Amino acid sequence: MATNTQAWDIYWETNQSANSFAFDYSATEGPYGVVNTFWQQTFSQFSSGETIVDLGAGNGSLCQFYLQSSKEVRFKNWINIDSANAKPAVKHNLVSYQQDDMNVLRLPSESVDHFISMFGIEYANFSQSLQHVKRCLNDKGHFHFLMHHHNAVISVQSKITISRYERILQAGLLANLNCFNDIEPLKKHLLSALKFQLQQCPLNEQVDVKLIGQKIYYILHSTSDITLCVQQLELLSNQLTWQIVRLKQQLEAANQVVNLPEYLQNHGISNYSLKELEYKGDILAWVLLGTKI
């Protein structure tokens, strides 16, 4: 798949979180603890003198997690690659960032010891990106990818969020607000519209409505300037629109992982394992581990 990065450019321009899903990488219990364990096991395989490349790295949160959780730096250099324009989360003399296309990796052949990715590589076009992964790995190199799963908790919730956000935008809850000349009528209009949304939506979509309601409430009570208030509400509307775009791209990325074995075979990669990462019976992600040969 080919991903338009505009939605992600906008996200990273206004967010400094470790990732777009509010994951706590340092958690040791629950589903985040399972993810933590996976990465700690991966990090333990790194050795001094090795080159690590994170594909779809975002702002470099995996590198930040490694540096925070490891007692010593066991790599020669760490390269974060993402096609979106993300603000670097880590400043370190051994860490670099490349805004580049994962489908056309501009790295020397056989120069990488470990490719890693946390919800990133699946946004690339496998038919193009995998040939570069194989080309760039040295003979002893490994890849460690955690990828979106079409039946994972994240994907299920994303479908719910897309549905509710689209309904809110289609209902015009945040549209044509320039007709209001005072804060109080605007408050009344928005609170009434939010109440209607809650009454109409199924139980599993109410959390999304409440989250939007909290953001609207904060905006309404943060200023008495009606012009500024409307501007902030219009910005919120744009944020919802772009979040829908990101979530749809995420679901598309998850769907293409189903055909990953075929892509691996086509590129001569046979030494791999593809399995589901679970927590108490709930699917969290796909895990792809393997080597060049």
Q: pLDDT tens, 270-283?
A: 999 999 999 999 99
Quote the pTM value.
0.92
Residue 176 zone, left/alpha/beta (φ > 0; ψ -120 to 50; rest): left
- Dihedral sign, CA of 104, 292, 118, 125? positive
What is the mean predicted confidence (pLDDT) over 63-72? 92
- Give the model confidence (pLDDT) of 96-113 as tens digits: 999 999 999 999 999 999
Are residues 132 and 104 in contact, defined by beta-carbon separation less than 8 angstroms?
Answer: yes
pLDDT for position 20: 47
Comparing CA positions, the residue from 113, 116, 120 lying closest to residue 137 is 113
Nearest to 113 by CA among 141, 134, 94, 132: 141
Percent of the chain having pLDDT more than 70?
Answer: 96
Nearest to 245 by CA among 114, 123, 137: 123
pLDDT digits (tens, 9 = 90+) for 80-93: 999 999 989 899 99
Count other Cβ atoms within 10 Å, centred on residue 194: 18
Residue spans per domain, the chain? 6-152+254-291, 155-250
Q: Let me know: does 218 contact 170? Beta carbons within 8 Å.
A: no
Q: Say whether domain 6-152+254-291 belongs to CATH 3.40.50.150.
A: yes
